[in-house]
Structure 1
Amino acid sequence: MRATTTAGVYLKEGARGLVLAPSLEAARLLRAPGEVLAGEVGGLRPPEFDLGNSPREAEGVEGRVVVMATTNGTKAAHAARGAAHLLLGSLQNATATARLAARLGEEVALVCAGKEGQAALDDLYAAGVIARGLMAQGFAPQGDMAHLALFLAGNPPREVLLASEAARALKEVGLWEDVEVCAQVDLHQVVPRFQGFRGEGMVFGRG
């Protein structure tokens, strides 16, 4: 729910770039002087990190590079690193993600991070909203999971996200407000796009 939302917010708020690390340890090693270290473990900001994984916390990122590592989202980006083009989509930039993806390729795969190796309701919903945008660009859904995501997308975002395990986990650690922020659709047009590698890190900038 949060990783791609927060990544987009960092760039929207003026971050010079994002470096997605495959682990917390890698993020610590990848951070150069003056860069912002952001991430989460168990939903919370790890010790010695500047920021957590909340889209409500983007202070001090303007003009700086953010090095980011999360439990599920940044790992999913690394799992998709062989793609010809790689974008980070969320509900907040759903339509912009669909439009850019449609311009870049004749076939688009929507990769969901899930939650600790399992399918996640919040991810499927966001994929369905993006898939609706792709259908408006002439794409056709393939497979049962695509149709399931599209079916979910017919429901109000807040209603679906609040029912997810991710929302319940965030409530338990006092981050319920993040769910409300992540449920906002088409809040901005900034789409993080993969630009290359920096060591183990994947560098993203504005698409």
Structure 2
Amino acid sequence: MRFRVDPLPLPGTYRGTAIVVDVIRATTTAALYLKAGATALVLARGAEAARALRQDGEILAGEVGGLPPEGFDLGNSPREVDGVVGKVVVMATTNGTRAVHAAMGARWILLGSLQNARAVAERAVATGEEVHLVCAGKEGQVALDDLYAAGVIGRHLQALGFFPEGEMAHLALCLAVNPPLPVLSVSEAAQALVRVGLGEDVAECARVDVHGVVPRFLGMRGEGMVFGG
């Protein structure tokens, strides 16, 4: 079996298993919401869609320009996931949740990060499908941090018997031989967080294989994609 790495989402092209990666920060934080006790995630394309999807008693989380939009309960920080036990989290971010919607059509959609890299690779292999690692990018541009995280996940896939296909897969694997924090720290996503005072999130996103929670797509709720652990 093979895996590919898409440096940016390619809507309408996914049929097997898609692992969506927005390591700084959406897919990292999404898994941590479930780890912290959220019952489900509803991922919206954007902030207005999230407001429309939110039901009574649900948590509204996400960011625009790195910061929580007006009226949101939480931002998109992996260091701020308390208060979600027993709650549904409706989430919208600038890049990550849009990338998840772009993966629609895949038989399986999983959310991957450095924190769950080994676990998401194992879950993907268990589907028996070829794997697409879908990098969210940053506002339409290729993101170093996502390519790096895709490479770390790809190394786990290799160890499980999968073979890289295409130049981007090999490039991501080459990036992944480096330690995580120095690579992530020079990415545009990290620098943008530093500018809004959230630079500490980068070190949290750079932690590798620290838990086994893998968000997986369960179905639609209106225009929102529902994920569980």
Residue 178 of structure 2 aligns with which residue? 155
Cα distance in 2 between the residues matched to 1:49 and 1:59: 14
Q: Gaps (5+ residues) in structure 1?
A: none
Q: Deviations over 1:88-144 (max 9, x none)?
A: 000000000000000013300000000000100000000000000111111000001
Matching residue within 24, 32, 37 for 2:60 = 37
Residue 13 of structure 2 aligns with which residue? none
Q: Post-superposition shift, 1:59?
A: 1.6
Greater RCO (Cα-Cα under 8 Å, separation 6 or more): 2
Q: TM-score, normalised by structure 1?
A: 0.99
Matching residue within 194, 197, 201 for 1:171 = 194
SS in 2 for 1:111: strand
Q: Does 1:64 align with 2:50?
A: no
Q: Deviations over 1:132-170 (max 9, x none)?
A: 011111100000100010000000000100111111100
Greater share of strand: 2
Q: Deviations over 1:173-198 (max 9, x none)?
A: 00000000000001100000000000
Once the two structures are superposed, the pairs formed by residues 105-144 of structure 1 within 5 Å of their partners are: 105-144=128-167
Q: Gaps (5+ residues) in structure 2?
A: 1-23
- Report how many residues are paired: 206
Q: Pairwise CA RMSD of aligned residues?
A: 0.5
SS in 2 for 1:109: strand
Cα distance in 1 between the residues matched to 2:89 and 2:105: 22
Q: Post-superposition shift, 1:23?
A: 1.2
Structure 1 counterpart of 2:130, one-letter code: E
Cα distance in 2 between the residues matched to 1:174 and 1:121: 21
Q: TM-score, normalised by structure 2?
A: 0.89
Q: Deviations over 1:21-79 (max 9, x none)?
A: 01111100100000000010000011000000000111210110000000000000000
Structure 2 counterpart of 1:176, one-letter code: G
Q: Percent identity?
A: 71
Q: Does 1:145 align with 2:168?
A: yes
Residue 182 of structure 1 aligns with which residue? 205
